[in-house]
Amino acid sequence: MKHILSALVLNKPGVLAHVAGMFAARAFNIDSLAVGRTDDPTLSRITIVVIGDDKVVEQVRKQLGKIVSVVKVQDFVGQDVVTRDLMLINIACPIEKRPEIASLIEMFNGKVVDIAQRIVTVEIAGPESKIEAFIEACRPYGIKGMARTGTVALARQPRPSAEF
């Protein structure tokens, strides 16, 4: 089962290496890892996607919690969460295929961020399933390169009342 873990950590050098080292030392595989600052400049959020049974992931969560620079760890399994991945992808795009590829990009709510003579660079953001579907749709044209951020996630907040 896929688990999304969110760890608030102190924003200081070496914390990511310490967290990644914990995974390596215990032979836990990381499916996805994303790190970024939070609204508090002293904290960063590390979002880690791990695949394993509940028992293994509980062990991972507990081990993360033992690291001094880790402030809080949350497992989003069973919770309503908002997840997003970001991808930049270079697609082979000869001039005669541009309208076709532009239509595909629009269908996925993508954004063209660079155009070269025979390559178009596209930005796609959304759930992992959307990213994977876009990759598959682009394969017939030729994928020349891609970079992905990995998953970021936050717990979904209660819906506002009708007065909002």
Q: What is the pLDDT of residue 149?
A: 92
Which whole number is the average pLDDT over 15-39? 89
The token pair that represents 64 in the structure block: 């993360």
Which domains does the chain carry? 2-75 (3.30.70.260), 82-153 (3.30.70.1150)
Q: What is the pLDDT of residue 77?
A: 85
Q: Does residue 138 contact residue 104 with C-beta atoms inside 8 Å?
A: yes
Q: Does residue 87 contact residue 146 with C-beta atoms inside 8 Å?
A: yes
Task: Provide the H-helix boundaries in the chain.
Answer: 15-25, 54-66, 98-107, 128-138
For residue range 99-136, list pLDDT tens digits in order. 999 999 999 999 999 999 999 999 999 999 999 999 99
